[in-house]
Amino acid sequence: MRELLNKRGLWLVALVLCTSCGFNDVIESDEDVKAAWGEVQNQYKRRSDLVPQLVSTVKGAANFERDTFTQVAEARAKVGSVQMSGEASEDPAKLKQFEDAQAKLGSSLGRLMVVMEKYPELKATSQFRDLQAQLEGTENRIAVARKRFIASVAAYNKVVLLWPSALGAKIRGKQVRPSFEAAPNSEVAPTVQF
């Protein structure tokens, strides 16, 4: 009887110690993902806020590029409508929608900058140069934030899927998260029709 008690006690201790497997790790990695997502949203918003300034600066000099401006305005409106909650969406479809809207804005902005190459007197102004610097800086920050978000989601998914931390994740009810699919602007650069 005593031996049985010891054995049971043994297994109880082992079980208790083992349920620490992933129990806290999954929460820690979840918080990392949320922080990384916050940063991604931050940088995308920063780019979105630059757009009106950019458009108003170039509109005066490039009145004939109405198509380009319309595209940019539409893409920005689309981005504004696909708002995601503060937490990263656990729904892969919504995440893809968000990513696509942002990619469209990115490519229309790229097209705008390519078109502005036709206006050297505009390019020479310090205002345009500053905005271009800000836009490039923001694009770089977006790239960095995306990479970090993807890395944090990968680490979180590892905690959720690998054994034994999968036990703790299951207890907490945490599931695999979707991630971004491709790097932005990975599609072929748009060719401008003159």
Partner 1 sequence: MAIAAALCCAVPTFAPYRAAHAAPAVSQSRLEAPTYPAHTGPVVDAAHLLSAVQQEQLAQRLRRLREETGVQLVVATVPALQDEPIESFALALCEQWRLGRKGQDDGVLLLVAPTEKRARIEVGYGLEDVLPDIVANQLLAAAVADSGRGLDGAAIGHLVTALELRLRAARKGQGDTSAAPPGLPQLDPEISAWGGVAGIVLLGFVLLWASWGRRRMQAQPFRPLRPEPGARGRFVGQGGGGGALRFILLALLNSIGRGQGRGPRDNGPDDRGGGGGFGGGGASGRW
Residues in contact with partner 1 by CB under 8 A are: 2-3, 6-7, 10, 13-14, 17-18, 20-22, 24-25, 28-29, 32, 39, 129-130, 133-134, 136-138, 140-141, 143-145, 147-148, 150-152, 155, 158-159, 164-165
Angle between helical axes of 25-59 and 126-161 (0-180°, round to 10): 160
What is the C-alpha separation between 45 and 47, in angstroms, rounded?
5
Tell me whether residue 61 or residue 150 sits nearer to partner 1 (CB atom).
150
Tell me whether residue 49 or residue 74 sits nearer to partner 1 (CB atom).
49
As measured in angstroms, the least distance from the Cβ of 147 to partner 1 is 5
As measured in angstroms, the least distance from the Cβ of 141 to partner 1 is 4
State whether residue 157 is helix, strand or coil.
helix
Tell me whether residue 28 or residue 90 sits nearer to partner 1 (CB atom).
28
As measured in angstroms, the least distance from the Cβ of 26 to partner 1 is 9
- Whether cis (ω within 30° of 0) applies to the bond prior to 178 is no
Between the alpha carbon of residue 86 and those of residues 39, 60, 89, 97, the distances in Å are: 10, 37, 9, 16
Cα pseudo-dihedral 177, 38, 96, 175, rounded to 10: 10
As measured in angstroms, the least distance from the Cβ of 73 to partner 1 is 24
Tell me whether residue 68 or residue 106 sits nearer to partner 1 (CB atom).
106
Give the contacts of 183 (CB within 8 A, at least 6 positions apart): 143, 146
As measured in angstroms, the least distance from the Cβ of 121 to partner 1 is 18
Tell me whether residue 93 or residue 124 sits nearer to partner 1 (CB atom).
124
What is the C-alpha separation between 94 and 108, in angstroms, rounded?
21
Q: Are 86 and 40 in contact (CB under 8 A)?
A: no
